[in-house]
Structure 1
Amino acid sequence: MFLAIRELAHAKIRYALIGFIIVLIASLIFIISGLAKGLSADNASAIQNLQVDYVLMDTDAELEMTKSIISREDLDKVSQIDGVAQANSLSVRMMNASINDTDQNEDVALFVTESDSMLLPPVREGKPIAQENEVIADRTLQREGIEVGDTLTFGEQRELTVVGFAEDSQRYSHTSVVFVDGGESEHINAITIRVDESRVDEIRNAVGNSFDMVTREEALKGIPSYSQEQASLNMMIVLLFVITAFVLAAFFYVITLQKRDQFGVLKALGAKTTYLVQNLVGQVVLISILCIGIAVGLTLGIAAILPEEMPFLLTADGMIQTSILILIVSVIGAFLSLIQIVKIDPIEAIEGAGK
């Protein structure tokens, strides 16, 4: 490590340039990752936050919840299956609501369930639902000026009152979700259940081929454009990791070739190959850690100035995982240089330096 630090101090400009490139690429990875998570939450947080174990949908719907049709009788049968601790209905309606009978309109996703349902989110402002004409709304509607006590009118018949705002983000298909008590509606879109995990196989057999029994993560695939949206962004992230590996591989490969004679002399003087390899790996790790730290700070600064309505989400766990991946990719990128160090012949290198 001593040799690595001395070399970094000696060739400041050379390593500063590669560090600058790593900072830019790492920042881009963090930003696109934040955008991917933000879009994921904006598209599906209402499903991601459901406090359930499994979701049952009509097999013909192919996991698209709004196309699934299940009867109230099916819900009653499922709730009686041994191992099912709780079962609640869920119906999704994409609607347009008039606010306080004014010209202001908002597109919302109505999540219809029972008043005592486990699907209802915790309330951070206001109160829980107590009547059928009351709703809990996604907090993003507050940015549109909607307050507790405001009314949402759907068509000419149904008027609902906002009594609270959900604690966590509740979005579905890039639309704010409004939770409402649907009473005993005849047809529903899905059945959500909590189960005894030791009896999952028995429950699947009891459900039979009438329903698709899927986890919350699997249910996300049925949301329109969700999989395609995430696949595109994840592909960009993967390509950035590949670019990082190639950039570092090319840089350190060229540097190693330029220092081939020096490495040969060091080997002739008794330096072990493992010492020289540790020197190179140490350089890569030091540069990567420093650059990742700068990129994290830069990304947090950019996130702070982004408009609130932009779907951008950064989490500590996500940034740590991404940082570790960047560090691993950086070391992998220097692998070609390690091979060159191992292959260096001290005699050939000294003879080459003397010409």
Structure 2
Amino acid sequence: MFLALNEIRYAKLRYTLVIGVMFLIAYLVFFLSGLAYGLAQENRMAVDKWEADYLLLSDKANDSLNMSMIDPEMIEQVEAKEKALLVQAPAIIYQVEDQDTKENVSFFGIDSQQFITPNIIEGELFSKKGEVVADISLKKSGGYSLGDQIKISMNDEKMTIVGFTDNAKYSVSPVLYTSLETIQQVRYGEMAEKQELRVNAIITRGQITEKPDGLSKIAIGDFINKLPGYNAQVLTFGFMIGFLVIIAAVVIGIFIYVLTMQKTAIFGVMKAQGISSRYIAKSVIAQTFFLATVGVFTGLVLTILSGLVLPETVPFQSNLPFFAGISLLMIVIAIVGALFSVRAIVKIDPLKVIG
């Protein structure tokens, strides 16, 4: 390490450029990772919030929540530790006082006495017909607040926001929780009272020991993977990030190799003086470790700071354990890339170099 650090002090500009390249690639990797993780979370937040184990859907729905229609009375035939009814309905809402602020949302109709009832961070839980609890993102980025009246664009039904919850997004859309009675208004408007209630799913905690015919059981993890676009998005970002990590390692490996070849004469003299190839190789690896660590750590710090100033609408989320894993992977692969330089050092013949 002594030789590695002294060489970096001697050639500050050269090694600053190496660190700069590593920093830029690391920043790109971390930023894309934050976007990928944030976007993935916004698809599944509301589902994770249930802390459930299984969903029961209509066996004709092909594991799609939107396509499933179930008689709510079927819940009495389901045997599980805890169970809850869910009605899901996509909609477009706008403020009564400002029709230009339209938002794509997802309504969740629930029984407030069942376990999927959301936590309240502002206001109170709905208790009357026409009241809703909204995800806090509608307040932060949409300009909605407690007491605001909203309208459903497809039928002009009015509702009132009485509370806010957190971490409630489904397929990237903010979720509005409401009663089973009110969700009928969302679906059918003025015709709500004439329509029979149909739920989309029965959600359970614990093993399902008995269920009626006509329902299929799907684990929460499998359900999330089958959300529209979720799996393709995760795989796409995963491949992008993986390739960027490999590219970062190759780039720093090439830099170290080129620098090693430029110092062939110096290494030859050092060998002639009795300094072993092993000692020189250790210095090169230590140097690579230092350069990669500084570049990656700087990129990580800037990524976290960037996340603090990004607009609320950008789906960026920092996941420190995930970032730590990527950091370790980039440093390890960079050191593996530097091993090619070690091979070149071992082959240096002091007599040929000195002439």
> What TM-score, normalized to structure 2?
0.85
Question: Does structure 1 residue 344 correspond to structure 2 residue 355?
Answer: no
Deviations along 1:5-54, one digit per CA (max 9) or x if unpaired, are: 12222222221111110010001011111111222233332223222122
**Distance between the aligned counterparts of 2:17 and 2:155, measured in 1?**
65
Percentage of identical aligned residues: 28
Relative to structure 1, is the Cα distance of residues 278 and 54 closer, same or farther in structure 2, using a 3 angstrom cutoff?
farther
**Structure 2 vs 1, CA of residues 326 and 41 (structure 1 numbering), >3 Å: closer, same or farther?**
same
Q: 2:203 and 2:272 mapped to 1: Cα distance?
A: 71
Pairwise CA distance, 1:162: 1.3
> Which of 126, 129, 138 is the aligned partner of 2:126?
129
Residue deviations 1:162-211 (CA, integer Å, cap 9, x gap): 11000x2311222211011215974222221111xxxx4xx378688941
**1:286 positional shift:** 1.0
Q: Give the counterpart of 2:116 among 90, 115, 119.
A: 119
1:255–1:205 Cα change, 3 Å: farther
Q: Which segments of 5 or more consecutive residues in structure 1 lack a partner in the other structure? A: none
In structure 2, how many angstroms separate the alpha carbons of the residues matched to 1:61 and 1:271? 72
Question: Structure 1's 69 and 156: CA in aligned 2 closer, same or farther, altered over 3 A?
Answer: closer
- Match for residue 83 of structure 2 among 76, 83, 87: 87
Q: Is 1:311 paired with 2:322?
A: no
Map 1:64-213 to 2 at 5 A.
64-78=64-78, 80=79, 84-100=80-96, 103-104=99-100, 105-142=102-139, 143-154=141-152, 155-156=154-155, 158-166=157-165, 168-183=166-181, 186-195=197-206, 200=207, 203=208, 210-213=215-218
* Structure 2 gap segments, 5+ residues each: 185-195
Does the aligned pair in 1 maintain the 2:46–2:170 contact within 8 Å? yes
The Cα shift of 1:279 comes to 1.5
Match in the other structure for 1:21: 21
Change (3 A) 1:102 1:15: closer
Distance in 1 (CA, whole Å) between partners of 2:351 and 2:58 is 77
TM-superposed deviation, 1:130? 2.3
Aligned residue in 2 for 1:47: 47
Match in the other structure for 1:214: 219
CA-based RMSD of the aligned residues comes to 2.6
Kindly indicate whether residue 10 of structure 2 is the aligned counterpart of residue 10 of structure 1.
Answer: yes
Partner SS state of residue 176, structure 1: strand
Q: Is contact 2:269-2:354 (8 Å) kept?
A: no
Shift of 1:114: 1.0
What's 1:229 paired with?
Answer: 233
Q: How does 1:183-332 map to 2 (within 5 A)?
A: 183=181, 186-195=197-206, 200=207, 203=208, 210-215=215-220, 217-267=221-271, 269-332=273-336
Tell whether the 8 Å contact from 1:62 to 1:222 is kept in structure 2 after alignment: no
| Deviation string, structure 1 residues 57-76 (Cα, Å, up to 9, x no partner) | 33443332212233324322
Would the aligned equivalents of 1:97 and 1:108 in 2 still touch at CA under 8 Å?
A: yes
Aligned length: 339
Q: CA deviation at 1:269?
A: 4.7
Relative distance call for 1:286 and 1:102 in structure 2 (3 A) is: closer
Provide closer, same or farther for how the CA distance between residues 332 and 163 of structure 1 changes in structure 2, counting only shifts above 3 A.
Answer: same
Whole-Å separation in 1 of the counterparts to 2:103 and 2:353: 75
